[in-house]
Each structure stands twice: as C-alpha cells, then as structure tokens.
Amino acid sequence: MPESPPAATQRRSDAIRIARVVCITGVVYVHAWTGLDGHQLELARNTPQEILRWILMEGFGRSAVPLLGLISGWLVAGSARTQDWRAHIARKARTILLPMVLWNAIAIVLVSGAAWLLDLKAPQPQSLGWVIGELFIVTHPPDINVQMPFLRDLFVCMMLAPLLVRLPTKALMPIALVAGACHVLALGPPFILRPSILMFFTFGIMARRADVAERAAHWPLLPILLPFAILMPAHLILSIGTSRPFEGVSANALDLGLRIAASLAAWRLVWALARSHIAPPLLRIEPYMFFYFCAHLIIVWLGGPLIGHLTGPLGSPLYPIYLIAQPLLVLGVVMVVARTLARVAPRSAGVLSGGRLDTAKIG
C-alpha cells in the first residue's frame, strides 16, 4: 500500500538521517587503526585480515562520500535560502568551513603534540606552509585529518550552489559529466580535490527535481544491489591483489562506477532501514554524526595505539575483533566528549558540530 504524503516525507527524512549514520560509520572503517605503516600494509596484501579490512572499507566506506554528496545536493535544491548567495555562503562558512578549520587546529595540537611529547608515530609541523595546509586544506589533503577534504570540497560545492540551483536540468548534466571526467582523469586540484563530490552534489540537485529519492526507494531491491555486488568484488580484487591488469584512467573509471552503484545501493538499504526496528537507535545517535566525522581520526590517532597494545596490530589474533569494533569504540568516545562539552561549553559544542548538535537535548 502506498504511503500517505506525510508518512513518505517522514520516512525520507529518517532515511537521510540514517544514511548519515551508515556513511560516517563507513568512513571510520576506511581510517581504522592498523598499527602498520604503508610498507608493512603492502606486505600484508592478500592476508585474511587485510582482506577483511578491505571488505569493510569497500562494503561500508565506498558509498559514504557519494551518498553524502547526493544528500547535500538534494537538500540544497529544496532550500529557498540558497537563493540568497551572501547569506547562504555566510551560513555554510559557519557550519562547514569554520568547524573544519577548528577541528584541524585541534588535530595539530593533540596529535602532533602527542607525537612531540609522547613519541607517537604521527605527523609533526614541518613549516608554516605545512600548518597552513593542514588548517585550510588549500591545495592537497592534510596529513592528519585526511577525511576533511570532503568538507573542503563540500564548501566549494556550496559556493556554487546558488548558481547550480538556478540552472535548468539540461545544463546540470554536462557539469556532472565534466566533474566525473575530472575524477577519471585525476584532474581538479587545487580548485576541488575530489571532483566526484561535485558530480554527486549536482546529481543530488537533479534527483530532487526528478523525485528520484522516492522512485529509487521503490525500485526492486535486486536490480539496485546487483551492480554494486558485481563491481565491489572486482574493485576489491584489484585493490588488494599483487597484479595490476589496468591502472590510471581505467582504474579511476571502475572506481567511479562503483561509487555510483554503491550510493544507489546504500540509499535503497537506508530507505528500508527507516521503517525497521533498528531505526530508532540509529536516529538517536544521528545528531552526533558531524562531530563523529570531524573527531574520529583524532581519536584513532591517539587511542588506536593504546588499545592496539592489547590486541596487537593487523595480523595479530585479536586484531579482527578490534577492527570490527572500532567505529563503536570511537562513537562511544565521541558521545562522551560531545555531551561533556555541551554541558560545560555549549557554545563551543555548537560551533564544533556546525550547529548540528542540539545542546539543549543532550547537555
């Protein structure tokens, strides 16, 4: 039986909130602590634990940035406030750019400070240019908060949003295709570090106009999941295998195709979750997700080695348990920190969460 319009609207809102939980949890798997450096990870290729890590990264993390970009574009397309360019940019600078810079500063103080004082294996300031790059992510990703280019590029998309929402759909498609081509050809920096974010952001605007969110949610599950089920193992084999049948443009094209398939599959799944028995707990933790996204790598840098002393690094018998549990462990720390900050410094909690943390409810 079709849902009534109010019920469908509520379900869509719940699905968007659950998507944030699922996607940002996936991001944490991408950045999970391993205890190994790049050379050691290369030597661990094709081991059972490294395969497990890549399965979690591919299965949960591959859809994260694309779906978050789609949702951002979808929301912008439905907001009348986007029409006022000056007010829109000021608002996004306050809710995206300012938290990004502040969290990058916190990362430098805590992570680089621990590296200096406690001999933590982590980046330390090398020059004034390095510090500026870490704070503002001007031309390349930072060394500590490697997840933050998403916020940086999302802000670029938000700067373009007042123009994009005024363009007809037939003019948006070439923009999305050019952004996708830039991803495949590894073009874009320094204007945008990950052009695929602009592509999915633009797709989100188009999806709003075509009511794709509701229509895709009602498509049969198998046709939606099948492309991801085919492309994910192929990409996984290429990522962890020792042979490289193709690289460069071909590999980037496969990566982009997988991201598209993953975003559609993830949306179909979160739409189903929005009416499941696990929806209420997921919705309760959703207000913490922006804080979680921004803080998780700081916690991984600082806390990963502490628990790693008990479990051992990747390759140790207990490591798989630690790997699977890492998002929940990090979330627990984030919720404690956020609630404490909301009580003792509610204004700071509001700023660091980009206004997304309702301090009146959690403090």
Contact status, residue 312 vs residue 298, Cβ threshold 8 Å: no
Q: Which alpha helices (DSSP H) does the chain contain, by range?
A: 5-30, 38-43, 48-56, 64-77, 85-92, 98-107, 113-118, 128-136, 149-164, 169-185, 195-210, 212-217, 221-240, 249-273, 279-285, 289-311, 319-344, 346-352, 359-362
Contact status, residue 303 vs residue 333, Cβ threshold 8 Å: yes
Task: Return d(Cα 87, Cα 258) in angstroms, integer.
Answer: 36
Task: Return d(Cα 313, Cα 333) in angstroms, integer.
Answer: 21
Residue 234: closest CA among 262, 194, 201, 276: 262
Question: Residue 63's pLDDT is what?
Answer: 80
pTM: 0.95
Question: Residue 173's pLDDT is what?
Answer: 97
How far apart, in Å, do the first and last CA atoms of the chain sit?
A: 41
Question: Residue 352's pLDDT is what?
Answer: 97
Question: Residue 362's pLDDT is what?
Answer: 62
* Inter-CA distances, 21 with 52, 96, 240, 259, 270, Å: 21, 18, 27, 18, 10
**Token duo for residue 157:** 């998309």
Task: Return d(Cα 139, Cα 243) in angstroms, integer.
Answer: 31
Question: Residue 221's pLDDT is what?
Answer: 83
Please list the pLDDT of the chain residue by residue as tens digits (363 residues): 566 778 888 999 999 999 999 999 999 999 999 999 989 998 898 899 999 999 999 888 878 899 999 999 999 999 989 989 999 999 999 999 999 999 999 999 999 999 999 999 999 999 999 999 999 999 999 999 999 999 999 999 999 999 999 999 999 999 999 999 999 999 999 999 999 999 999 999 999 999 888 787 778 888 889 999 999 988 888 877 665 555 678 889 999 999 999 999 999 999 999 999 999 999 999 999 999 999 999 999 999 999 999 999 999 999 999 999 999 999 999 999 999 999 999 999 999 999 988 755 565
**Token duo for residue 158:** 């938000």
Question: Residue 97's pLDDT is what?
Answer: 98
Q: Specify the DSSP class assigned to residue 81.
A: G
Task: Return d(Cα 62, Cα 23) in angstroms, integer.
Answer: 9
Question: Residue 245's pLDDT is what?
Answer: 58
Question: Residue 227's pLDDT is what?
Answer: 94
Task: Return d(Cα 305, Cα 252) in angstroms, integer.
Answer: 33
Task: Give me Rg for the CA atoms of the chain.
Answer: 20
Question: Residue 246's pLDDT is what?
Answer: 58
